[in-house]
Structure 1
Amino acid sequence: MPKLFHLLCSPRADSESLAAARVFLDRFRKARPDWDIDEMNVWRDHLPEFEGYILEAKYARIGGKSFTESQRDAFAIAERMAVRFALAERVLISTPMWNFGIPYKLKHWIDVISQPGLTFRFDPARGYLPLVKDRPTVVILASGGDFATGMNRGRVDLATPYLREALRFIGVRDVQFVPIGPTSGPDEPVRIARDGAHRRLAELATRF
C-alpha cells in the first residue's frame, strides 16, 4: 500500500498548521482512498537525545570504524526513523514558525535522521551526496506574521530556506511550501490568509 508520511510539528491541538494539514489530508484521502497515512507527532513520538552512543555511532561511521554493540543499538533508532520517512511516496510537513525558524523538536528530528551512510554519504571527489530518493513534499508553514506578501514588519523567514536546504541535502528536492500568515492580529487578515491557504492545499491534495 502506498504511503503518505505526515510529520506533525505543532504542540497545539488548535494550531493553524494542524488545521491546514487536516484540510489537505481530508481531500487527499478522498482522492487516494487506497493510500496509508503514517502520522508522526514530534512532540509525542520518541526522539532519542542526540548524545552518548548515538553520537559516538555517527563519528564511528564517519571515521570508518565498526560500531560497538551499544552504538549499534542506538544508531538503529535513527535508522528506523529514517526508513519510516524514506519509505513514503509522499510527504507532508506541517509546522509553525518559531522565532523566525522552526520548532526545536522538528530540528531534533532532522538531526536524528541526517546521518552518514543513512540519508547522505561523502565522496572525496564529489562531496556530499544524498541517499534519500526524491518524492513530492508539501510543507505547511504557519507564522504569526505575513511573510508571503512582505507584511512581516522587518522580520526574516529563516524557516523556509533552512527546511529547503535540509531536505535537499538528503535528496528531497520536489518541495512546495504553503505559507499561512498572519495567524495573529486583526480577524479579517487572519481569515483571508487561512482561507487562501486552505483553498490552495485542497487543490494541491487532489493531484498530489
Structure 2
Amino acid sequence: MPKLFHLVASPRADSESSAGARVFLDRFMQARPGFDIDEMNLWRENLPEFDGEILQAKYARMGGRDFTEGQRAAFAVAERMAVRLDLAERVVISTPMWNFGIPYKLKHWFDIINQPGLTFRFDLARGYLPLLKDRPTLVILASGGDFTTGMSRGRIDLATPYLREALRFMGLQDVRFVAIGPTSGPADHTGAARERAHKRLIELAVQF
C-alpha cells in the first residue's frame, strides 16, 4: 500500500498548521483511498540528541572509517528515520513559523537524518549529491504574519527558503508551499487567510 508521510511539527493539536493538514488529508484520502497515512508527531517522537556515538558515527563515515558497535547502534536510529521518509510516495510537513524560522524539533529532525551516505553523498568532481528520490512534497506553513507577498511588517520569512533547500539537498525537489497567515490579528483577517489557504489545500489534494 502506498504511503503518505505526514511530519507534524506543531505541539498544538488545534494549531492552524494542523487544521490545514486535516483539511488537506481528508480531501486527499477521498481522492486516493488506497493510500496509508504514516504520521510522525515530532513532539511525541523520541528524537536522540545529536552528540556522543551518533556524532562520532557521522565523522567516521565522512572519514571512510568503520563504525564501532556503539556508533552502529546510534546511527541505526538515523537510518530508521530516513527510511521512514524514503518509503513514502508523498510527503506532507505541517509546521508553524517560530521566530521567522522553524520549530527546533523540526530542525532537530533534519539534523538527525541529513547524514552522509544516508540522504546525501559527496563527490569530488560533482560536489554534494542527494540520495533520496524525488516525490511530491507539500509544506503547510502557518505564521502570525502575512508573508504571502514577501516581508511582513519588516520581518523576513526564513522558514520557506530553509525548508526548500534542506529538502532539495536530500533529493526532494517537487515541493509546494501553502502559507496560512496571518493567524493573529483581527478575526476577519485571520478568517479570510484561513479560508484562502484551506481552499488551496483542497484544490492541491485532488492532484497531489
Same-fold call, TM cutoff 0.5: yes
Match of residue 146 from structure 2: 146
Q: Which runs of 4+ in 1 moved over 4 A?
A: none
Q: Residues 161 and 150 from structure 1, CA distance in 2 versus in 1: closer, same or farther, beyond 3 angstroms?
A: closer
Query: Following superposition of structure 1 onto structure 2, how do residues 48-197 of structure 1 map, counting pairs within 5 Å?
Result: 48-150=48-150, 152-197=152-197
- The answer to whether the 8 A contact 1:9-1:105 is kept is yes
- The answer to whether the 8 A contact 1:93-1:139 is kept is yes
Match of residue 32 from structure 1: 32
Q: What secondary structure sits across from 1:138 in the alignment?
A: strand
Q: What is the CA–CA distance in structure 1 between the aligned matches of 2:149 and 2:113, rounded to whole Å?
A: 33
Q: What is the CA–CA distance in structure 2 between the aligned matches of 1:16 and 1:186, rounded to whole Å?
A: 15
Q: What is the CA–CA distance in structure 1 between the aligned matches of 2:58 and 2:151, rounded to whole Å?
A: 42
How big is the alpha-carbon RMSD for the aligned residues of Structure 1 and Structure 2?
A: 0.7
Pairwise CA distance, 1:166: 0.2
Identity of aligned residues (%): 76
Spell out, residue by residue over 1:16-75, the C-alpha distance to the aligned partner (whole angstroms, 9 max, x if none). 000000000000111111110000001101111100000000000000000000000000
> Aligned letter for 2:66?
S
Pairwise CA distance, 1:151: 6.5
- For structure 2, which runs of at least 5 residues remain unmatched after alignment? none
Q: What is the CA–CA distance in structure 2 between the aligned matches of 1:13 and 1:49, rounded to whole Å?
A: 25
Q: What secondary structure sits across from 1:19 in the alignment?
A: helix
- For structure 1, which runs of at least 5 residues remain unmatched after alignment? none
Pairwise CA distance, 1:207: 1.0
TM-score, normalising length from structure 1?
Answer: 0.99
Question: How many residue pairs were aligned?
Answer: 208
- The answer to whether the 8 A contact 2:151-2:157 is kept is no
Pairwise CA distance, 1:14: 1.0
Q: Residues 73 and 194 from structure 1, CA distance in 2 versus in 1: closer, same or farther, beyond 3 angstroms?
A: same
